Amino acid sequence: MSHTTPRLSVVRVWLGVLGVLLAGLLVYASIVPVTPRYTSFYNGVDGFLQLRWLDLNVYRRADWVANALVVIPAGFCLAGAVDFGKPHRWALLLAAPLIFLNLATLVVVIEFLQFWFPPRTRSQNDVFAGVIGAAAGPALWLICGRPILRGLILVCTGPVTKQRVGWLLALFVLANFAYSLMPLDLMVSKAEWQKKWDAGRIVLVPELGMLLSLSQWKGWILAAARTAVVGFLATLYRGPKFAFAVVVFVAIVCELLQLPTFTRQASTTDVLAGVAGGGLGIWVANRWAFWLGVLEKPIVWLGLFATCLLGIVAVLLVRDAAWVDDPEIIAGHWRAFFTWPMSKYYYTSEFSAGTNVLAKLIVFAAAGYLLHGAVHCSKPKVRRGLRLTGWAVIFMVGTIIEVGQVYLTTGVSDASDVLIYLLGAALGGAAFPALRPDRLADPRGLAAQGNPRGSIVNGH
């Protein structure tokens, strides 16, 4: 089976398109919730000139940092659109100041525009943070953009080699380290460390009551899940002994990175959960030839697909038994259901909104991946019908989740979330060719381990 590398010019075009889309999304996200007020241009200018500096205490620091972080991706992609694959870097050095000036101007325009869209908070801090982000995007590309994108392309299109698995492992570990630092509200004083300790976000000695906490279980499951992937990939890359060392290292470093981050919890129990999850990943990888045989059966993929969707529904709906019976509250929820896309995310912190969207994308990406696995393993004559049916089920589940939240006391329904679910499923399906089970290890190595079936390994 051949895998073609995309042409460099095509990659640059897509980076440019993505950069422009991210800049447009930044504008929209900056005026949500879309509640315009009508006032004169001169009042807007006067309000902009009177912007003040806000006190950056530890509770506001995360929002300030977020204003810089959200600008970085657009600058990173636009710099890549100019530079990737070029034999020299002169084009980037010439374009970087222009990218910075355009994004910095956009930041200023956004802050000015927010005068017409209350209740947005406006300050000089936001402008300063956005300008830093505008400079950081091209600079970050200059430092590490080329190797990161080459690694992504190798993971998506490269042959089945240890190098490819190594890149996948490295990118996944780096992403976890970056996530552990978010939202970058780093503590800078002893008093702030004391506040975090008093809030119970540094757990050195576990307590029995933690077993009854749903949030603790969510943290343990997340810690176990991410190191399970690390253990799995590291075992395929260099064996179980190497994998165990990497798992322990990643589990400890992730918690250490969360120590100086004010809003994140650092816990020794998360380290233990991470090591346990890594052990599960190592166990699965050691028997990967066997699992490849199991995964040749469409019924297995369909069972996992159904289990995934049922789990999503259970977590988002069934766990909350407090149903609304007040018609006025239900009517209010329906009005909120058909509002501007993603408006509800304004009423949480940027980090909470981002992780909420990311979690929805990931869980539905898993559903999309499993659906495409079932289609891939099915007979050609049923593939189209299975694909259409699967997508219809995903759409129905997403709609049921959002409509169901209209009738929950704690539910916040939003029709645009259905689009997020569909996007996540599409991304999962698009990732299937690159992350297909047989493309995660050398087929010859698996054959030597005695693959019981072999047709997936051989690319059939």
Q: Are residues 228 and 359 located together in one domain of the fold?
A: no
- Final residue belonging to a domain, choices 107, 133, 159: 159
pLDDT of residue 2: 43
Same domain, 150 and 171: no
The whole-number pLDDT of residue 63 equals 78
On whether both 295 and 388 belong to a single domain, the answer is yes
Do 234 and 135 fall into the same domain?
A: no
Same domain? 305 vs 173: no
For helices 214-238 and 240-258, the axis angle rounded to 10 degrees is: 140
**Same structural domain, 93 and 224:** no
Residue 403 lies in a domain: yes
Residues 332, 448 within the same domain: yes
Amino acid at 311: G
Please tell me whether the overall predicted TM-score, pTM, comes out greater than 0.85 for this model: no
pLDDT of residue 294: 92
Buried b vs exposed e over 399-410: b needs ≥16 C-beta within 10 Å? eebbbbbbbbee
Nearest in space to 246 (alpha carbons), one of 260, 259, 264, 228: 228
Question: Does any domain span residue 1?
Answer: no
Domain boundary among 286, 316, 334: 286
Give which of 426, 401, 427 is closest to 414, Cα–Cα: 401
Contact (Cβ atoms closer than 8 angstroms) between residue 80 and residue 148: no
Residue 61 in any domain: the answer is yes
Position 442 in a domain? yes
- pLDDT value of residue 67: 86
Pair 242, 303 in one domain:
no
Could you say which of 286, 308, 331 is where a domain stops?
A: 286
pLDDT value for 4: 57
10-residue mean pLDDT profile of the chain (460 residues): values are: 66 94 92 82 82 75 84 96 90 95 95 84 86 96 92 80 87 93 86 89 81 78 93 93 96 94 90 95 92 91 95 75 77 80 74 83 95 94 94 94 81 84 95 86 46 33
Answer whether residue 239 is part of any domain.
yes
Domain boundaries, position 458:
288-460
For residue 250, give Cα distances in angstroms to 230, 267, 358: 8, 14, 21
Q: Which of 28, 33, 24 is closest to 414 using CA atoms? A: 33
Q: Does 262 lie in the same domain as 192?
A: yes
The region that residue 200 occupies, defined by phi over 0 for left and psi between -120 and 50 for alpha, beta otherwise, is left
* In a shared domain, residues 189 and 142: no
Total domains in the fold of the chain: 3
Do 444 and 373 share a domain, yes or no? yes
186, 113: one domain: no
> What pLDDT score was predicted for residue 234?
94
Query: Is residue 430 in some structural domain?
Result: yes
